[in-house]
Structure 1
Amino acid sequence: MAPEPPAVALGRDDLRAVTGYAVACARQALALFEHERPGDQRPRAALDAARAFADGAERTRVLRDTAWAAQRAATAAREAGLPAASEAARAALAAAGAAFLHPLATATQVRHVLGSAAHAARAFELSAGDDPAVVACHLERARALAGPVVVDVLRRYPAAPPGGGRVGELVRLLDASLR
């Protein structure tokens, strides 16, 4: 049995800062989802719950429930042939999931910090026909949104791991630019 990774110092204020960052990144792509799926409020609800936590509310079951609902919205959009909308919903899911960043020094935790930014950038990339200039612009915006607390938290973890397809690649690009 492998030893448990060391703990990372992670306070409630750190979690709130990371979640606020994740919401700011994901909210940019929400319009892509709502344009394609105007009656589906699940990603918006996940972002609202995550924003409430970032602003001082407790971490409750509502946060988890809205995150899972955003996942179902992403799946429904993908199944409807709307990949950009699906990625935008995944950005909302990742924003809500940021509140559950684990204090374990594992590279996979980096996705909790940067996943919403990467999914949002991928959503914009897909909506622009895979234009690399579009993704570069959105990654730069995500980098600019990362305040000192977010960067400090990110640096407590190992670098982002390999894998994860295009979104994993975007996580690694953003991770490298913030360290």
Structure 2
Amino acid sequence: MTDQRLERGQQWLETLLNLAGIATTVDTQQPEHSNASNYWLTIDRDKLTPVQIEHLIGTDGATIDAIQYLANASLNIHQEADLQAGYTIELDGYRHRRAIALKAIADEAAEQVRTTGKEVILQPMSSAERRQMHTFFDTETDYRDLATYSRGQEPDRRLVIKLAQTPDDEPSQLAGDSENGD
């Protein structure tokens, strides 16, 4: 089953790239944990020109984010729950570099919230990046005293970081707000 999902993702991305006139291959990486269902599909940069790489990543990652969204939507539609998976599209180390940048943004925002006691609203980012930020704050021990939620509507949806609420605090939810997710 795992290999089937991985092969399906690889074939889908290679077909998409071929339809776009981009002759390259896609390398795959299985999740580290046996129960994980997120697969990395890495576009081989060696067969691409710098201009092709730039176009496939797009301004602020917009193109690679769109490809990733399409991959996840297309590959999971009409699939039984146990055949669904998450796919991360990588090219030229973009996701790795972006994760480092997002971690720096998270660290800076966390420091600001702790210093001022006020929530920090970040610049708009893609839903994939907001989920990644939520995951940073949910899983890293450095952020246990903080909470996140998303506010607003696309394309201006933003991540909000605040001090974690005590059980006595009442959450104030505005239209378009969602706690720890999108």
TM (normalized to structure 2)? 0.33
Q: Which has the larger radius of gyration?
A: 2
Greater share of helix:
1
Answer 1 or 2: higher relative contact order, Cα 8 Å, separation at least 6.
1
